[in-house]
Amino acid sequence: MVSIQNLHKKFGKNQVLSGLDLEISEGGIFAVLGPNGSGKTTLIKCLLGMVIPNKGQISVLGENVKNGSDYRHKIDYLPQIANFPSNLKVKELIKMIKDLRENTTLDQDLINLFKLEPFLDKKLGNLSGGTKQKVNLVLTFMFDSPLVILDEPTSGLDPISLLRLKKLIQAQKMSGKTILITSHIMSFVEEISDEIVFLLEGKIYFKGSIDELKNKTKQPDFEHAIASILTDNHA
């Protein structure tokens, strides 16, 4: 599904990715974790073609990302911050994205799931952060692509919407999709992830299940295992 070999990316003197190698197989939920500055967002933007690496190879769904942008139509992406035109109504934004990408009827199911019907005629600039995030989720999931990338998907969600999101992600997994998630909410990661990929200083420090990480760090729970990595590497 995703293959990355010897990926390097530098911004000025700041080496963000340092020879990163990563293979992600088809199907399942993979959480990309790491401290701030570890390269998570840069990695995702390299996958999406939004950042050009200095060195290395990336293939997504069997296509080398350097060979064109067509592969992006097979990816659904939820950005961490949804910067929507504030003067557009919610329904206008949804229609505009459908016109730009492809027609779909899945948006109505997602609108119902996240209870957005009362907000469709409201301007995006007048919505709360949590409601904007629900709109963000509708735009992400309404195209039924095989690869889904979610950057901090829980941001601003109330507990009921978070529960609905978890069920939606699990349903996407059951349909055979591959889902990449970044999140700072360890309880969320622990509940839904099949595997975690932990980045440290631009490289893969660990890739495997949460149980494997607990065994490696000799810690009783997931949060302590993550804390152990960070403490050991900043001692």
For the stretch 145-204, pLDDT in tens is: 999 999 999 999 999 999 999 999 999 999 999 999 999 889 999 999 999 999 998 899
Question: Can you give the CATH number for the domain in which 129 is found?
Answer: 3.40.50.300
Span 57-77, pLDDT tens digits: 999 988 899 888 889 889 999
171: containing domain: 2-232
C-alpha separations of 231 from 17, 188, 217 in Å: 21, 22, 11
Here the contacts of 203-206 (C-beta below 8 Å, separation 24 or greater) are 203/17, 203/18, 203/19, 203/20, 204/20, 204/21, 204/22, 205/34, 205/229, 205/233
Residue 36, amino acid: N
Q: What is the DSSP letter of 175?
A: T
Low-confidence winner among 33-37, 111-115, 136-140, 164-168 (lowest mean pLDDT) = 33-37
Contact 165, 137 (CB under 8 A): yes
Name residues whose C-beta falls within 8 Å of residue 36's C-beta, 6 or more positions apart in sequence. Answer: none
How many domains would you assign to the chain? Answer: 1
Confidence of residue 48 (pLDDT cuts 50, 70, 90): very high
CA distance 216 to 57: 29
Rounded alpha-carbon distances, angstroms, from residue 120 to 72, 83, 97, 152, 175: 28, 17, 14, 24, 28
Distances (CA, A) of 77 to 55, 80, 118, 180: 24, 10, 25, 10
Query: The whole model's pTM is what?
Result: 0.93
Q: What is residue 103's three-state secondary structure?
A: coil
Report the distance separating Cα 158 and Cα 128, nearest Å.
12
The answer to whether the CB of 77 falls within 8 A of the CB of 140 is yes
